[in-house]
Amino acid sequence: MMSGARNTETPEAEAPSSEAAARSIGSGVGRVLVAVYAILALAATGRSVFQIIDRFGEAPVAFVLSALAGVIYLVATIALAGRMRRLALVTISIELIGVLVVGTVSLVAPALLGLDSLDPFGRESTVWSAYGAGYLLVPLVLPVLGLLYLRGSAARPAKA
Amino acid sequence: MIEGFTIAQVIVACLAGLLCVVLGLAGRRPNDLTLGALVLVEVLLLAQLVVALISPALGIHPVGSVPLFYVYLVSALLIPPLAVFWGLVERTRWSTVVLGVAAFAIAVMVVRMAQIWVD
C-alpha cells in the first residue's frame, strides 16, 4: 500500500529562516481551516437539506437560514482552498455576522425565527442557533480563526 | 445501533484523532499508522452501516428519524476517504493534522447518530 522505502518518519525539513517557517505554519493552518470548513459545510448543508425536505413547515425561516449558512460555508471552503482572499474575507465575515445575529435572536426572540424552543440540539435546531451550540460552538469560533488567518496571510508574501 | 459497539467506535475515533493531531504537530507526515487509523475508523463506520441496515430485521428500530440518521451516516462515511486521499496526495505534517480533525469529526457525528437512534 504505502511505500516503506521513503522515509516518512523524519519531521518535515523546515527552512532555517523564520519567514519560511512562518509561511509554512501559515499555509499549514490554512489547510486545517479548509478541512474544518469543509466538514462544517457538509454537516450544515446535509442537515438543513434534510430539515427542509422533512419538516419545512415547522420553522421555515430558520431552516432556510441554515441552508443559506451551509452554502456560505461551502463557498468559504472553496475560497480558502483556492486562495481567493477577497471571497474568503467576504464569506467568513458574513458567517460571523450571521452566527452572532441569528444566535442572539434565537436566544432572545426565537419566535422571530419561528422556533418553538431554543434547544440547539432539538428538532428545529440550526447551525447558528444559540451561536452554534449544537455544533460545539464551531460556527462561532471558526470565522474568528478564519479572519485571523486571513489577516496573518496578508502580511506574508503569497506562495506560488 | 448496538450500544457497546457504538461506544467502542467513538473511543477509537477519538484515539485516532488524538494520535494524528499529536503526530502531525510533531512533524510526522501521513504514514501507515496515521492513515491506517483513518481506515479503521472508516471500516467501523461501514460496520455501523451494516448494523443499521439489518437492525429492522432483528427487531431493533430507531426511535428518532431514520432519514436524519442516514444523512449523518452517509456524510460521515464520506469524510475519512477524503481525508486519506488528502493525506496521500499531500504528505505534510498538516495533512496528518487534517487526518486527526477528520477522526474527531467522525467521533462527534457517531455520538449524534446515537442520540438520533435513541432520541
- Per-residue pLDDT 10s for chain A (160 aa) are 554 444 444 454 544 566 666 666 667 888 899 999 999 898 888 888 888 888 777 777 778 888 888 899 999 999 998 888 899 999 999 999 988 988 888 888 877 776 666 566 666 667 888 888 878 888 899 999 999 998 887 765 554 4
- Whether A101 and chain B come into contact, CB under 8 Å, resolves to no
How confident is the model over A64-78, as pLDDT tens digits? Answer: 888 888 899 999 999
pLDDT on residue B96: 94
Which of B29, B84, B88 has the highest number of chain A CBs within 10 A, making it the mutation to test binding with A? B29
Going residue by residue through chain B, which has 119 residues, state the pLDDT in tens, using 9 for 90 and above.
Answer: 788 899 999 999 999 999 999 999 999 999 999 999 999 999 999 999 999 999 888 888 888 888 888 988 999 999 999 999 989 988 899 999 999 999 999 999 999 899 888 86
Contact between residue B49 and residue B77 where contact means Cβ atoms under 8 Å apart = yes
- Does any CB of chain B come closer than 8 Å to the CB of residue A31? yes
Nearest chain A Cα distance for residue B75, angstroms: 7
| Closest by Cβ to A11, choosing from B28, B30, B101 | B28
- pTM (global) more than 0.80: no
Q: How many CB pairs under 8 A join A and B?
A: 70
Amino acid at position A29, single letter = V
The partner residue sitting opposite B67, judged by closest CB among A11, A43, A50, is: A50
Distances (CA, A) of B8 to A147, B1, B11, B40, B107: 37, 12, 5, 12, 10
Q: What is the DSSP letter of A122?
A: S
Q: What does the alpha-carbon distance between residue A39 and residue B101 come to, in Å, rounded to a whole number?
A: 9
Of A138, A110, A112, residue with least CA distance to A122: A110
pLDDT at residue A7, rounded to an integer: 47
Instruction: Look at residue A133 in the predicted model and tell me its pLDDT.
Output: 81
Give residue limits of the domains in chain B.
3-118
